[in-house]
Amino acid sequence: MKICILPGDGIGPEIMAEAVRVLQALDLRCELEEALLGGCAVDATGEPYPEATQRLAKAADAVLLGAVGGPQWDNLPRAQRPERGLLGIRQQLGLFANLRPAILYSELANASTLKPEVVAGLDILIVRELTGDIYFGQPRGIEMRAVDGHQERFGFNTMHYSESEIRRIVRVAFAAARKRNRKLCSVDKMNVLETTQLWRDVANETAAEYPDVELSHMLVDNAAMQLVRNPKQFDVLVTGNLFGDILSDEAAMLTGSIGMLPSASLDADNKGLYEPCHGSAPDIAGHGLANPLATILSVAMMLRYTFAQEDAALRIESAVRKVLALGYRTADIYEPGTQKLGTRAMGDAVLAAL
Ligand code: IPM
Ligand code: MG
């Protein structure tokens, strides 16, 4: 098992340290190699996804990533921003299938801003297309153009999807639904955008391959509303890159804290990049306060999807459950009556539970 470790920026190194300790405690034979991605890579090499990192990432079976970005890099030219590193690795490795589960641990029902009865028992999976759409579409830019007889700045991006790009992600979603409650909701904006009319058409065509899964469709604005109105109506959601970015943050918040949610980004052969859904949280970086559980749970996803080590994945997930049941919380999920821990102490608690 060759794993490329990319701690990244902000809280990245702190949460990654705990995830690596958990991984090592499992006594699996794995080879870890660390590299730079994001702002730290820009500082060291001038590029957010340097050559050396590309080599390691390509050679590895899986990549484990902390988080990238921070205000000190926000004014760099776009090509040097930390986020470009993340988009670059997703694109270069062909990681088109982003799986973002939103599970509410019963112990955290009160941490959600929604009423406990709305979110109790929530278990949904967002399948987000990750290498296409307006994120990567050309042409794009900001330039001077003639508008109504005068020159002014003009910003533009391009949304596009090919039929095959849609079909392969929809298949991933159908296959995931098949292993769950066999309900798939495809999210689009076909009442306005042609690209997403094609999305709906291809989803409908693909449904014939999965007669045992019930396919429905929803417009993205309604989906955003339904996610807070009655999220438990969903099992698996599948959508494009931009809508998936937005809806997955919304779904994360249903569970109380984005600090709890792992993610997997897979290529066609289950090689994957695994990262927490949250960002680099520059405001708390370096203080040992960040919640490492999303990164630890990302290790579980890595063991499950890339290495087919279901037992090891379940061991990590039940250790996390146990820690929550024992009343241990980081600041983001703290409530009176529980015990507040820092990043390292939370890692210790998971190790003890393991
Ligand atoms: C995510 C993030 C990224 C995205 C950013 C950091 C480029 O928000 O993984 O959801 O938009 O995909
Ligand atoms: Mg996002």
Check pLDDT > 90 for residue 67: yes
Index of the ligand 1 atom closest to the CA of residue 275: 9
Q: Give yes or no for residue 132 having a pLDDT over 90.
A: yes
User: Distances from the Cα of 136 to the Cαs of 159, 219, 254, in angstroms?
Assistant: 8, 22, 29
**Do 149 and 215 lie in a common domain?**
yes
* Whether residue 112 sits in one domain with residue 87: no
- Tell me, yes or no, whether 254 and 271 share the same domain: no
Decide: 212 and 176 in contact? Cβ < 8 Å. Answer: no
Regarding whether 62 and 16 lie in a shared domain, the answer is yes
> Is the per-residue pLDDT at 302 higher than 90?
yes
Query: Closest Cα to residue 131, out of 267, 304, 320?
Result: 267
pLDDT at position 34 is 98
Whether pLDDT at 154 is above 90? yes
Counted domains in the chain: 2
Query: Above pLDDT 90, what percent of the chain?
Result: 91
Nearest CA to ligand 1 atom 12: 245
Among 225, 268, 274, CA closest to 246: 225
Residue 275 bridge partners (DSSP) = 263
The helix/strand/coil state of 268 is coil
Q: What is the pLDDT of residues 168-195, one digit of tens each?
A: 999 999 999 999 999 999 999 999 999 9
Q: Are residues 116 and 75 in the same domain?
A: no
How many whole angstroms separate alpha carbon 269 and alpha carbon 74?
34
- Report which of 97, 161, 162, 166 is spatially closest to residue 126, judged by C-alpha positions: 97
pLDDT value for 112? 84
Ligand nearest, relative to CA of residue 68:
1
> Whole-angstrom distance between the N-terminal and C-terminal Cα of the chain?
21
262 confidence band (pLDDT: 50, 70, 90): very high
Residue 151: what pLDDT?
97
Are residues 192 and 332 both part of a single domain? Answer: no
Q: What is the mean pLDDT of residues 287-298?
A: 97
Q: Whose CA is nearest to atom 2 of ligand 1?
A: 245
Quote the crossing angle between the two packed helices 82-92 and 51-59, to the nearest 10°.
40
Which of the pair, 23 or 249, is modelled with greater confidence? Answer: 23
- Minimum CA distance residue for ligand 1 atom 10: 245
Do both 296 and 163 map to the same domain? no
What residues make up the domain containing 300? 1-96+267-354
Atom of ligand 1 minimally distant from the CA of 245 = 10
CA angle 29, 35, 312 (to 5 degrees): 30
Q: What is the mean pLDDT of residues 213-218?
A: 98
CA of 200 to the centre of ligand 1 (A): 24
- Ligand 1: residues with CB < 6 A are 83, 86-87, 245
Q: Residue 256: pLDDT above 90? A: no
* Interval between CA 262 and ligand 1 midpoint (Å): 13
Q: Are residues 89 and 110 in the same domain?
A: no
- Judge whether residue 56 has pLDDT over 90: yes
- Find the mean pLDDT for residues 249-277: 91
- pLDDT band at 108, cuts 50/70/90? confident
From 258, 293, 309, the end of a domain falls on 258
Are residues 36 and 90 part of one domain? yes
User: Domain boundary residue among 209, 239, 258?
Assistant: 258
Q: Specify the pLDDT at position 59.
A: 97
Over 66-104, what HEC string results? Answer: EECCCHHHCCCCHHHCHHHHHHHHHHHCCCCEEEEEEEC
Rounded distance from Cα 87 to ligand 1 centre (Å): 8
Residue of 245, 246, 265, 274 with the most ligand 1 atoms within 8 Å of its CB, for mutation:
245
Tokens of 318: 């039940």
Pocket mutation for ligand 1, best pick of 78, 84, 86, 100 (most atoms within 8 Å of C-beta): 86
Q: Which residues are catalytic?
A: 135, 189, 221, 245, 249
Ligand 1 atom showing the smallest separation from residue 248 Cα: 10
Q: Among 213, 234, 258, where does a domain finish?
A: 258
- Whole-Å CA distances, 207 to 168, 200, 268: 12, 11, 19
Strands (E), the chain: 2-8, 31-34, 62-67, 97-103, 123-129, 141-147, 150-156, 183-188, 214-219, 236-239, 262-266, 272-276, 328-329, 339-340
For the CA of 87, the nearest ligand: 1
- Considering the domain architecture, whether residues 301 and 354 belong to the same structural domain is answered as yes
Which atom of ligand 1 lies nearest, measured to the CA of 87?
7
Task: Return the pLDDT at 296.
Answer: 98
pLDDT of res. 217: 98
Question: In angstroms, what is the span from residue 346 Cα to ligand 2's centroid?
Answer: 25
pLDDT band at 38 (very low <50, low <70, confident <90, very high): very high
Work out the pLDDT band at 37, boundaries 50, 70, 90. Answer: very high
**The dihedral formed by the CA atoms of 99, 241, 61 and 291, expressed in degrees to the nearest 10:** -60
> How far apart (Å, rounded) are the C-alpha atoms in residues 328 and 323?
6
Residue 299: give its domain's CATH number. Answer: 3.40.718.10
Residue 110's Cα: distance from chain center in Å? 23
> Are 72 and 134 in the same domain?
no
Q: What is the pLDDT of residue 257?
A: 80
Residue 255 has pLDDT above 90, yes or no: no
Per-residue confidence (pLDDT) for residue 111, from 0 to 100: 81
| pTM of the full structure | 0.93
Q: What is the mean pLDDT of the chain?
A: 96
Mean pLDDT of all residues in 284-295? 96
Q: Please indicate, yes or no, whether residues 144 and 237 belong to a single structural domain of this protein.
A: yes
